[in-house]
Chain A
Amino acid sequence: MKKALFLLLGMLLIAGPACALELEYFKVYKPADGMSADEIMQIENFVKYTKCARDAQFEGKAYFIDKSGAVRERETTRVRITLGRKSDDIAYKDLVMFTAPTQVKGLATLTWTYMDPKRQQDSWLWVPSLRKIRKISAANGDDSFMGSDFTVEDILTRRYEDETYTLLGSENFKGYACEFDKKTYFQGAPCFVIEAKPKRSPWYYSKRVLWVEKNTGGGIYEEMYDPTGRMFKTIFKDYQIYKVDGKDYAAQVLLEGKDLRTGHRTVIINTKITFDKGLSEAAFTERALSESRW
């Protein structure tokens, strides 16, 4: 009996990873009916980090809006090169530069993300007040991303391997009424509804309920629940398709994060998005960071 149980457990362990897809970098994937929650979330993760594109550039603005309606702004340029290189384990490199307001202008962060999901990122910071590069420790996943309502994990570090998934169903999305531009997004869009639970425990959230749009593979809306089971945050992402050399790249155009406890909101709008411009990896080095003028 014991042997049979061990055999069954062994088969399940082997069968588990077999559910996962073997996604290749620089290809476009979309979720389809009949896929498991794991497969859908693998694609969602792939789309989120634009692994389909060799490089991407986002120029945008971030708005920090407090409960009273007071708004603070940041302007950033974000550049990414996707490598998926097994020789040195590098998945992609990001460079985020603040371009306004003046107080933070010039501040830039270079981040290397590794393919091994257990590895933390390597990060370097260009500090204008010191005129030097500072190697920095990886922020905790539950730290705020640039002071926004998104965590570092929401934007940068959450991997497919960090959670377990359950497919709750498939439905047409009820629509998201964006408070920032007063538009309603994705009304009636076919979505998978997935429950994601973090493997890490205790953690700042107990589960996320996520709507993954079938057309783009992007996680367009999620509700986050704290360890007591109370919803504390919602995140909306407007994904749009960009045609690049005949391929459909899904990109995040607008993000709205709401902290239901504080009433604070963050809106990120990417005003200019380009893909596959042939960026050189030399632009993602310490030397490139030190060439900053501001």
Chain B
Amino acid sequence: MRRCLVILLLLLCAGGAYANDQFSYSGYLQSEVSLRINHANGDLTKFKNIFQIAGQYKIIGDELVFFSKARYWYDAAYDLRDKMDIAQHYQGHVQRTDWLRDCYLDYTNNPWFLRLGKQQVVWGQSDGIAVLDRVNPVDLSEYWLPDMEYIRIPLWMANINYSPKLDSNLQILIIPDFEQSTSAAIGAPFTTYSYIRYDNWKKTVGGVDENLYFPGKNFENSTFGVQWSDRFADMNYTFNYLNGFYYSARNATIHLSGPYFGPFSYWKVNRSFKRYSLYGASFNKSVTNPGPLQGFTFRGDFAYYNDEPMYYGNPVTASSAGIKRWNNIMWVLGADRYVFTKWLISGQYGQYILQHSKPNDPRPQYNYILNPYTYGAMDPVENIFSLKISTYFLNDRLRPEVLWSFTDDNQGRISPKATYEIKDNIWLTVGVHYFYGHLLDSNGQYRDQDQAYMNLKFTF
């Protein structure tokens, strides 16, 4: 009902758009089809139709503006494919909390800018690697394949900005809302291998009592963030601090009675969210002065995660022995440059450096930090690379690009795509996602899920 009211409000705003320029709106209808190309017959993995409408109403000129965006989708692949039936309820049409993508009030009166309501806040400079981009939880039901705007789950928050001088800004975030990061349900194409292994374990041991404990709804449990941004010597930089609950719940598994595998076995799995802190910084700089580096843009993110909850256990049996609160570091450096006319090359290199200590489990085979996606073993230092090449043809009508992201474990993803503007309001995108690597690596877990896809978008 509430959803209908918001959509009705947006449509009313849309109607008013013709009356004066206080109202404006836009939207689209998009059809997304993807096929698993490893499968001999081309297995349909997505047939998703998305409707989105956004509207803004200027209450007092540009000083006070209300903005809202709603999105509804239905994925018919879960109806059409028997083997995906099990995921139907969670993946096929349930919108959870993401149907209302934005709903906020903007107040602008320089040097103040306030954005109050449901929104996304993005920190950091890196593309596709969430070093500082951790203000909002994420929906990984299609892994990290969609645009980040789709992946982030918006939260209700107060976003308060004050600019004491030109090009500087102090941002304070108060986020009383909480949503957990989500991933694909069992039976979906991009279910994480760790979830599959956990589900298999549940079936093996029989009775499992699962409990999920959310943070209590009080002000003390809010997430708080501060960002200072400024410019020094032609370089833009930020300092960031975030303190809040980690958006992925971590399991604590307890065996209560009976033999491990047997009719009297009783297991309890408590999932809870742990509070952690992020201390970070970012920068960007284009070399504008003449010299060998002229034309390069450099950017970087650095983050220190204090008390980041990590699984440890046995990667061979996929057994999590518990959680460690570690202090980890992640950084990414990127460089972009147009190398030839209209060819842009963008590269990134980063590291995820885990705290240099052992989990100290008395059983040696359990002394591994586990990759949360797969329950495979994580390296103490993960080296991460990405390379993107993009260009355009036919007066910007055809835009091909290829993204290759990989780590030093010989695993990664190659995603070429091309977007073609059929008309002003009709756009076609075709592409492929090719995964490779070991089954226990983040991208390698989907090595049998290579996708060819086509998106057709009608905008209004």
Contact = CB atoms under 8 A, between A and B. Distances in A.
A134 to B, nearest CB: 8
Given A135-B236, A293-B56, A103 B166 contact: no
A123 B169 CA distance: 19
A111 to B, nearest CB: 11
A291 B338 contact: no
Interface string B389-415: 000100111000000000000000000
B149 A130 contact: yes
A129 B149 contact: yes
A227 to B, nearest CB: 14
A129 B147 contact: yes
Contacts of A136: 286, 297, 336
A64 B424 CA distance: 10
A105 B26 contact: yes
Interface string A122-138: 11000011111011111
Contacts, number: 140
A287 B169 contact: yes
Interface in B48-74: 54, 56, 65, 67
Given A72-B397, A131-B122, A291 B26 contact: no
A128 B229 contact: no
Interface stretch (A47-55, A146-154, A212-220): A146-154
A137 B122 contact: no
Contacts of B396: 64, 144, 146-148
Contact of A137 (B166, B337, B342): B337
B341 interface: yes
Interface string A107-132: 00000001010111111000011111
B27 interface: yes
A123 B286 CA distance: 8
A131 B124 CA distance: 11
B284 interface: yes
B342 A140 contact: yes
A138 B295 contact: yes
B200 interface: no
Interface in B290-339: 290, 294-297, 299, 336-338
A268 B9 CA distance: 35
Interface residues of B, number: 63
Given A130-B122, A285-B167, A291 B294 contact: no
A169 B289 CA distance: 37
Interface string B101-113: 0100010101101
A148 B295 CA distance: 22
B120 interface: yes
B234 A137 contact: no
Contact of A128 (B110, B149, B236): B149
Interface residues of A, number: 47
Interface in A154-193: none
A120 B338 CA distance: 13
Contact of B163 (A119, A144, A282): A282
A101 interface: yes
A103 B342 contact: no
Contacts of A285: 163, 166-167, 169
Given A102-B460, A122-B288, A64 B395 contact: yes
A41 B229 CA distance: 40
Nearest to B154: A131
A264 B457 CA distance: 25
B290 A118 contact: yes
B363 interface: no
A206 to B, nearest CB: 17
Contact of A118 (B26, B149, B289, B421): B289
Contacts of B6: none
Nearest to B65: A293
A232 interface: no
A68 interface: no
Interface in B86-142: 102, 106, 108, 110-111, 113, 115, 120, 122, 124-125, 127, 133
B279 interface: no
Given A120-B295, A137-B338, A286-B236, 10 more contacts: A105-B26, A119-B290, A122-B234, A129-B147, A132-B133, A137-B286, A144-B395, A266-B395, A281-B166, A282-B163
Closest 5 CB pairs of A and B: A147-B396, A102-B459, A135-B284, A132-B122, A129-B147
21 contacts: A64-B395, A72-B421, A72-B424, A102-B26, A120-B286, A122-B288, A130-B127, A131-B152, A132-B124, A132-B148, A134-B127, A135-B236, A137-B337, A140-B340, A140-B342, A143-B342, A147-B396, A280-B110, A285-B167, A287-B161, A294-B26
